[in-house]
Structure 1
Amino acid sequence: MLRTLIENLNFIFTVDADDTVLRKASVVLDNDRIADIGGADEIAGRHVRESFDEVIDGAMMGMCPGFIDSHVHLSETLSRAVFPDNLNTRAWVFHWAKPFYAHVTDEDEYWGALLGITEMLRCGTTCFLDMGSQYDPGIVIKAMEPTGIRGITGRHAADNRPAELPKGWTEEMADHHFFPDAQTALEELEKCVVKYNGALDGRARCWVNIEGKEPCSLELHVGAVELAERLGVGTTYHLATSIEEAKVCEGKYGVWPITRIDNAGGIRKNLVIAHGAAVTDEEVKLLAERGAAVAFCPCSSFKLGKGATAIGKYPEMVAAGVKVGLGTDGVSAAGNMNLMRQMLLVAGMFKDARVQPDIFTARQALRAATIEGARALMWDDEIGSLEIGKKADFILFDLDHVEWTPFHDPLQALVYSASTASVCQTWVNGRKVYGDGQVYGVDEKKIRSKARELAAEAVIRAGLHKDDVDTTTTLYDEGN
């Protein structure tokens, strides 16, 4: 057994049920788990110093649970800073993202996933929920293997193919993007879960993920949660992502998206709804009753104008007991995979929009980035907080940094003052996977070079470098 002592930490955010913050504290790791945690003097009195294989001085460090990204698109990582910022969600998806997907290869996905994972680890993210590969979940899992990160992925699926493909889409993309019907899609998704769930000694999980919204039939939405329930895993899909989507749904079916899916029995406790921007007060109660989770992506909402501050019900969801995690979305929508930036935004945006300084506090922001994300991912029995018996997934901050000089309340400093610049180490499974300015196990310089090369080629293949790409859409406005 490998025993590690990290002693005399300035603070530890446990993010337990009481949000306990320990000062001058130590933590004991036995292999991949937390064996003890508490005041430095207490820990010193309970353990023989010579029993440790490694002792780390944490006097100028602070510890936080690893951040959990509740919604990310690793297959989009090569599209950073390609899509403009004058698009609403539906035009962004149908005329920019889909053409990009149409021209991304499995090789592109692999290097993009590697790049995204290195960014996450540098930003203190130790676990993620990825929407899934356009080809095979094994691509993401292959990228996860050498980096040591923890995560959930899947296989992209949709079944409501447009009768006429928009400009930029290809027949090849449509064939692997859209299954002929819900049953065929679910059969393939089940194969993926059986093959990949629990890979990498449990660090990787595979879910029954689908795209959601208009490209998916009602049968596929409901079938995904039912299949996931039977397999003992979760599912995630996009829903209620914008007011435009809600209005299209209301025009066709007389109700908003979440109510439509729930009326068919599709909103359940194993579901993570990506975005959930257009939600009624009644639907907030419904989500709480069903036990479903919502992944809120503040940066994405800001760039695409989803309306989080205008119509969003996220503070109400938290108050109602809905599991609300934070996500970064894809880099083309959010610009980054930095959950510290999401924490800052969510801790301030509703205060300002509603002129109410006591709403969505720093404490709630930290919980959304950690334990609430773990609850959404159905992994809170092992991650999301720093408690005895849980996995040793955590971040160490360098407090000898201008961002932390000086500070009194570490929570206020973390959310409002600090950035990823002061993340000095990221640990997953009791192992340091980022430190000394580098992600271990991979050649980051090679990854960045390859990503630049492949991204430039994909953008040109997709035609997204031209000036004639549509910025509005009527796709799926009519019909099923």
Structure 2
Amino acid sequence: MRTLIEHLEFVATVDSDDRVLSDAALLIEGDRLIDVGPTAAVLARLGEDRVDERIDGRRFGAMPGMVDSHVHLSETLSRAVFPDVLATRAWVFHWAKPFYAHVRTEDEEVSVRLGAAEMLRSGTTCFLDMGAQNDAGVSARGAAEIGIRGIVGRHAADRKPAQIPPGWSPEMIEHHFFPNHTVALEALEDAVRKWNGYAGGRIRCWVNIEGKEPCSLELHVGARELAERLGVGTTYHIASSIEESQLSEKNYGCWPVTRLERNAGLGNNLVLAHAAALTDHEVASLAEHGTSVAFCPSSSLKLAKGATAIGKYPEMMHSGVAVGLGTDGVSASGNLNLHRQIHLVAGLFKDARMDPTILGAREALRMGTIDGARALGWDDEIGSLEVGKQADFVLFDLDHHEWIPYRDPLQALVYSASPASIAQTWVAGHRLFADGKVTTIDETELRAEARKRAEAIVRRAGLHASVPTTTNLYE
């Protein structure tokens, strides 16, 4: 199948030169882009060759599909359930964990499909999920069914708290908390061998762990080493708040990333989620070891992680660290709209540092596309619109009021546009969102089921009653 989309008003390629093409064309064959350029040049190269479908792109602008470098698809049924006045550690241990503990396999199947549909509607074509609450296959099958691209994993930890908080079910504890790092790594390896390369390679599986206090140093270091041996990556939460880093210093004499560095825990197949509380030395260490970071602006704002107060994300980027953007889960951020994260990151540090040059539209767009793809080790195939890469892209309706009028496409994409003006989302050469609906599922039926399941989980978890808002776990 060969499709030509011609006379696009613009194509933001996000290539190495950040070219923005006018009156441009995309030529798709199967799942690949086989030509990208000005329409006249693409037509000249095409010559008399046959095209199966020809699309007039005059009212559209195109950009690469967005890459969500940190998401919790098993959390999608928890939207607006947890209070917005919680610090990170209390949020995790007394609200998120009980919710996760009562997400059954059937719930997670709905959660994954619902989250994938929201991502496609928002222009996200690839994701890195932190780990399934049940089996990694639930996420793999659900994402494959929708048609999105992504990386799944199996959740794992090996350090139970001394006192189990209310709401933590025995089933969750047994599934999540392994007796030691060796047993955990065996289960993680099994998940990778089963699911990596699923759906024709569109779904990958990594050695993902929870990170932070619930994981031993041996599990942090071992996960990266196992991932390297298996030829995949790993991701986990670390240094996600100043409280976490200070607790690490109290217990181990150093901040978390320094502890990893001292024990050969850093590497170029590792994506650190959040990494809000770092020292200058730790920033340099990440750059030296090629370790990537997933920054979640909405999550930082809601949970007061300190991205603009103590975060060193611009410094990481300037030192060469691949910093991608993540939505986190819907409870942490409120949404799975990566486009909103692009908008936020373009302005947060300008305002905090009172420096309009520190990070703008161009850098923000790269963070949500090619830099995220680089963090995921997938930038050879996605993240930019270039010949030979996967046909993952977003078309914006330029007749929408968000685009009338506009001059600079990059600024309009970042500061003016939103998912409201997304007309189509393509993954691997397939239109997965078009004409106002996700093409691969019945969203009406899915949403009705999601509402019922979400309410049942909240009641099983006891989150409709009084729940602690502070914690002393692992202290």
> TM-score with structure 2 length normalisation?
0.99
Deviations 1:152-179 (A, max 9, x none): 0000000001122012212221111101
Cα distance in 1 between the residues matched to 2:180 and 2:48:
62
Q: Which letter does structure 2 place at the counterpart of 1:6?
A: I
- 1:303 is aligned to 2:302: yes
The residue aligned with 1:382 is: 381
Q: CA deviation at 1:48?
A: 3.0
Deviations 1:207-252 (A, max 9, x none): 0000000000000000000000000000000000000000000111
- 1:114 is aligned to 2:118: no
Cα distance in 2 between the residues matched to 1:171 and 1:94:
15
The 5 A counterparts of 1:394-413 are 394-413=393-412
Q: Which letter does structure 1 place at the counterpart of 2:284?
A: K
Q: Tell me the secondary structure at the aligned position of residue 202 of structure 1.
A: coil
Cα distance in 1 between the residues matched to 2:30 and 2:450:
34
Q: Which letter does structure 2 place at the counterpart of 1:413?
A: A
Q: Which letter does structure 2 place at the counterpart of 1:29?
A: I
Cα distance in 2 between the residues matched to 1:132 and 1:59:
41
Cα distance in 2 between the residues matched to 1:114 and 1:197:
19
The 5 A counterparts of 1:141-152 are 141-152=140-151
After superposing on structure 2, the runs of 4+ consecutive aligned residues of structure 1 that deviate more than 3 Å are: none
Deviations 1:341-368 (A, max 9, x none): 0011100011111111111111010000
The residue aligned with 1:139 is: 138
Q: Which letter does structure 1 place at the counterpart of 2:4?
A: L
Cα distance in 2 between the residues matched to 1:154 and 1:178:
15
The residue aligned with 2:334 is: 335
Given the alignment, which residue of 463, 466, 469 partners 2:467? 469
The 5 A counterparts of 1:161-180 are 161-180=160-179
Cα distance in 2 between the residues matched to 1:457 and 1:262:
43
The residue aligned with 2:435 is: 436
Q: Tell me the secondary structure at the aligned position of residue 44 of structure 2.
A: helix
Deviations 1:31-83 (A, max 9, x none): 11011111111112111366100000000100000000000000111100000
Q: Which letter does structure 2 place at the counterpart of 1:417?
A: S
Q: Tell me the secondary structure at the aligned position of residue 70 of structure 1.
A: strand
Q: CA deviation at 1:146?
A: 2.3
Cα distance in 1 between the residues matched to 2:201 and 2:172:
31
The residue aligned with 1:53 is: 52
The residue aligned with 1:313 is: 312
Unaligned runs of 5+ in 2: none
Q: CA deviation at 1:27?
A: 1.2
Q: CA deviation at 1:282?
A: 0.8
Q: Tell me the secondary structure at the aligned position of residue 406 of structure 1.
A: coil
Q: Tell me the secondary structure at the aligned position of residue 200 of structure 2.
A: helix
Cα distance in 1 between the residues matched to 2:363 and 2:464:
40
Cα distance in 2 between the residues matched to 1:362 and 1:412:
6
Cα distance in 2 between the residues matched to 1:326 and 1:381:
18
Cα distance in 2 between the residues matched to 1:134 and 1:338:
22
Q: CA deviation at 1:254?
A: 1.2
Unaligned runs of 5+ in 1: none
Q: Tell me the secondary structure at the aligned position of residue 183 of structure 1.
A: helix
Q: Tell me the secondary structure at the aligned position of residue 383 of structure 1.
A: coil
The residue aligned with 1:201 is: 200
Q: Tell me the secondary structure at the aligned position of residue 244 of structure 2.
A: helix
Q: Which letter does structure 2 place at the counterpart of 1:474?
A: N
RMSD (CA atoms): 0.7
The residue aligned with 1:322 is: 321
The residue aligned with 1:279 is: 278
The residue aligned with 1:154 is: 153
The residue aligned with 1:420 is: 419
Deviations 1:371-405 (A, max 9, x none): 00000000011000111100000000000010000
Q: Tell me the secondary structure at the aligned position of residue 161 of structure 1.
A: coil
Q: Which letter does structure 1 place at the counterpart of 2:80?
A: A
Q: Which letter does structure 1 place at the counterpart of 2:362?
A: R
The residue aligned with 2:243 is: 244
The residue aligned with 2:366 is: 367
The residue aligned with 1:129 is: 128
- 1:96 is aligned to 2:127: no
Cα distance in 2 between the residues matched to 1:288 and 1:204:
28
Deviations 1:80-105 (A, max 9, x none): 00000100000000000011111110
Cα distance in 2 between the residues matched to 1:346 and 1:163:
38
Cα distance in 1 between the residues matched to 2:43 and 2:170:
65
Cα distance in 1 between the residues matched to 2:304 and 2:97:
19
Cα distance in 1 between the residues matched to 2:175 and 2:383:
35
2:162/2:474 contact within 8 Å kept:
no
Cα distance in 1 between the residues matched to 2:117 and 2:171:
30
Deviations 1:450-475 (A, max 9, x none): 00000000001101111x20000010
